[in-house]
Structure 1
Amino acid sequence: MSEDCDHADPTIKTEAAAQAEARSAEAAAIRRRWITLGEALAVVAVVISALTLWNSWSERADTEATNRAEAQRASARAQTLVLTATRSSERMLALKPVSADQSVQAQSISFPKALGLAPVQTTGEPRVEAGWFADALKKARDNAGMPDDSRGDERLPVAITTQFLADGRTHEDIAIYDVGYTIAGRLLGGHTVALRGVSLVSHAKSGGAQATLDARWAKLLPSR
């Protein structure tokens, strides 16, 4: 009996050792899986954090880019001058910017060379007066063989150089405008020029404004 027990003990011990080893291996595998899962979760957390940071930076960058673009557009609008006119009388047009954010400081109004007129300067009260050019215009119309009385509105091109304030800064604009007018004969008073309004033709460069003005004059009032 004793010999049988002695013979069985090694087998039992071997099986027990094998089971213990298997349990140990399984426990080690479980620990490795947990370590691997933990590492994966850590990586995921880092990735999420990085994506969140990038998204926040991207949104901020987009917002800043949008704000810069809007500021540039606003600045461009502020520097682009368009004048409009209201009739103070038939002999004078009061000029003002279309934009309320602009304020005219001074202007120089040039006429076609064919009229033989010097530029007119204004300060603080932008305007066009018929008396500046009426006699020269009537003479030019007569030389061109145009009718004494106009039919509808006629156009006199002028170059207007304007110094104006916008966004607290001084800017300069040079543009060609058509001054609308009518001319009619009176029995005792001769012909009278009545002003109607102004219309923007184009913006111009400083060196080429007079040539552009003269070309438009030749188009509107060709010589006979």
Structure 2
Amino acid sequence: MSESPRKKRLPFRWLTLAEFVGIAAVAIAALGYWDNHRERAQSDRERAAAERERKAEAQAGVLKLSFLMTGTPEGSGERLRLASVHPEQVIQTQAITFPSDVRGDAVQTTGNPRIEAGWFEGGLDRALHGRGSKQRQGRLPVGIVTVFIEDGQTKTDRALYLVGYSLHPRMIRSDKVEMEGMSLVRRGVAEDVQAAVDGLWERQVPPPDKP
């Protein structure tokens, strides 16, 4: 039997210097591309995080600058002392509007922000009786236009609030109003404040059904 021919081995040779340099250059280029890609991805992540942080700070700034008031009862609830939740916002003047059938004109204050029960006590009693309401507790809508100073600039806020109250009977005079506090309904009232207050009042205490 004849022997099977031996497999030929491929000739072995060392890489030339030029080939070695070429391979090294390719490897270095690949590493450089990977490093650049990684740095670019990291930069994109950092920019995205910075943008999110900037937007969050801007949003926080907007919320901080929003004008919002609190109403603290004084005495036996015959007065609400109004104050901005941000001390740097200094209230100058206010125009306080009540529902038309409670009080026909707005009350103007200067440098003494407050709501007094005497401003609307009799009118509220008449309005509730006229609408056939026997409720002893409720929320009276009021519109408040406030001029205030912030960072040396004069600004104006137009908002709707609800004043919580309870009624207590008296022998001769109309029921005594005891105010409990105030809550925000809406800021940035663009339409006529009186119309906005009246619309909210109609929903709070609807008129009696016509026979």
Same fold (TM over 0.5): yes
> Structure 1, unaligned stretches of length 5 or more?
1-21
The question of 1:57 aligning with 2:37 is answered: no
Where do residues 32-51 of structure 1 align in structure 2 (5 Å cutoff)? Answer: 32-51=18-37
Residue 9 (structure 1) aligns with: none
1:51 partner letter = H
In the alignment, which of 130, 142, 149 is matched to residue 117 of structure 2?
130
Residue 197 (structure 1) aligns with: 181
Where do residues 17-166 of structure 1 align in structure 2 (5 Å cutoff)? Answer: 26=13, 29-89=15-75, 90-98=77-85, 102-147=89-134, 150-151=135-136, 153-164=137-148
Whether the 8 Å contact between 2:69 and 2:84 is mirrored in structure 1 is yes
Distance 1:47 1:69, change over 3 A: same
1:178 partner letter = L
1:82 partner letter = L
3-state SS, counterpart of residue 175 of structure 2: strand
Whether the 8 Å contact between 1:104 and 1:124 is mirrored in structure 2 is yes
**For residues 46-68 of structure 1, what are the alpha-carbon distances to aligned partners after superposition, in whole Å with 9 as ceiling and x for unaligned?**
21442254145324412330232
3-state SS, counterpart of residue 114 of structure 1: coil
1: CA distance between counterparts of 2:127 and 2:180? 19
Report how far residue 170 of structure 1 moved: 5.1
Over aligned residue pairs, what C-alpha RMSD do you find?
2.9
Larger radius of gyration: 1
Report how far residue 123 of structure 1 moved: 3.4
Distance 1:105 1:67, change over 3 A: farther
1: CA distance between counterparts of 2:16 and 2:151? 71
Distance 1:71 1:163, change over 3 A: farther
1:157 partner letter = P
How many residues get paired? 197
2: CA distance between counterparts of 1:47 and 1:154? 71
**Identity, % of aligned pairs?**
28
TM-score scaled by length of structure 1: 0.72
3-state SS, counterpart of residue 146 of structure 1: coil
> Structure 2, unaligned stretches of length 5 or more?
1-10
1:112 partner letter = P
**For residues 194-218 of structure 1, what are the alpha-carbon distances to aligned partners after superposition, in whole Å with 9 as ceiling and x for unaligned?**
2111122233522243322111212
Whether the 8 Å contact between 1:82 and 1:98 is mirrored in structure 2 is yes
**For residues 113-135 of structure 1, what are the alpha-carbon distances to aligned partners after superposition, in whole Å with 9 as ceiling and x for unaligned?**
22343222333332211122112
